[in-house]
Amino acid sequence: MLKPYIPILLGTGREGRMSEKVAEYLLEKVKMFEFKTEILDVRDFVTSVTVPAWVENEQVKKWKEIVVNAQGFILVAPEYNHGYPGELKIWLDKALAEYKNKPLVVCSVSSGGFGGVRMFENLLPILHYLGFNVLGETISFSKVKDDFENPDYLKLDEKYFKQIEMMKNSLLLSVK
Ligand SMILES: Cc1cc2nc3c(=O)[nH]c(=O)nc-3n(C[C@H](O)[C@H](O)[C@H](O)COP(=O)(O)O)c2cc1C
């Protein structure tokens, strides 16, 4: 069987983003599984204001092709003022019908103790509206600076590997 293509979406373009380190850690882990994966960076898809899904331009076309070819998604996004980064919404708005029933797992990130769960709760209705099959196996990366400034992957595995495996199993069960 062909490996499913499940990219990791990095949902913030902020200078100095810790979420990038989380995405890189996940990439190392997910590569061990039966997935084809890579990190897709919001910075490569969003340069300015909203360009909706019905506009025919290269950026929209490229994103829609990726979505059509992906069997699922792992979204890494931080919490900003209890919400999601604005650039993530601009990115997601570049497609709509293409998302229908595609499985998606959210990995939320924060420097505080709640791991970005308020961001996830604010994003959830939008992900549902867009048509994603949002899986329950979310992972919350709290205290991200403590863990990821100088990451020790063995320690991280102790904390997160079981959850990452559950995420992987859930994605594999859901891909078509
Ligand atoms: C504009 C802004 C707002 C933030 N708001 C919150 C927040 O509401 N809750 C929280 O736990 N952390 C908040 N943070 C801190 C982030 O959790 C922190 O920057 C963390 O490293 C994850 O985001 P990053 O990938 O941009 O680094 C905020 C950070 C920024 C830049």
Within 10 angstroms of residue 52's Cβ, the number of other Cβ atoms is: 11
Can you point out the beta strands (E) in 49-119? 73-78, 103-109
Residue 175 in domain: no
CB-count exposure of residue 115 (10 Å: 0-12, 13-18, 19+): buried
pLDDT at 4: 94
Closest Cα partner for 73 from 95, 43, 48, 55? Answer: 95
Query: Can you give the pLDDT at residue 73?
Result: 98
- Per residue in 72-121, pLDDT tens? 999 999 999 999 999 999 999 999 999 999 999 999 999 999 999 999 99
Name the residue of 17, 42, 81 whose CB sits within 8 Å of the most ligand 1 atoms, as the mutation to test its pocket: 81
CA 88 to ligand 1 center in whole angstroms:
14
Q: Is residue 146 in some structural domain?
A: yes
Phi/psi region, residue 82 (left: phi>0; alpha: psi -120 to 50; beta: rest), is left
Q: Is the CB of 140 under 6 A from ligand 1?
A: no
- Give the mutation target among 9, 79, 142 for probing the ligand 1 site: most ligand atoms within 8 A of CB: 79
Residue 105 in domain:
yes
Please give the residue range of the domain that contains residue 37: 8-170
Is residue 81 within 6 Å of ligand 1 at its C-beta? Answer: yes
Q: How far is the CA of 11 from the centre of ligand 1 (A)?
A: 12
Q: Is 86 in the pocket of ligand 1 (CB under 6 A)?
A: no
Cα dihedral sign for 20, 21, 25, 28?
positive
Whole-prediction pTM: 0.97
Calpha distance 173→105 (Å, rounded): 13
Q: Is the dihedral of CA 37, 43, 45, 46 positive or negative?
A: positive
Backbone angles phi and psi of 167, in degrees to 5: -60, -45
Task: Look at residue 2 and tell me if it is in a domain.
Answer: no
Number of domains present in the structure of the chain: 1
Q: What is the pLDDT along the chain (176 residues), one digit of tens a residue?
A: 689 999 999 999 999 999 999 999 999 999 999 899 999 999 999 989 999 999 999 999 999 999 999 999 999 999 999 999 999 999 999 999 999 999 999 999 999 999 999 999 999 999 999 999 999 999 999 999 999 999 999 999 999 999 999 999 999 999 97
What is the rounded CA–CA span in Å between residue 168 and residue 33? 8
CATH number of the structural domain spanning residue 36: 3.40.50.360
pLDDT at 82: 97
pLDDT of residue 1: 64
**Cα(119) to centroid(ligand 1), Å:** 10
Q: Is residue 88 part of a domain?
A: yes
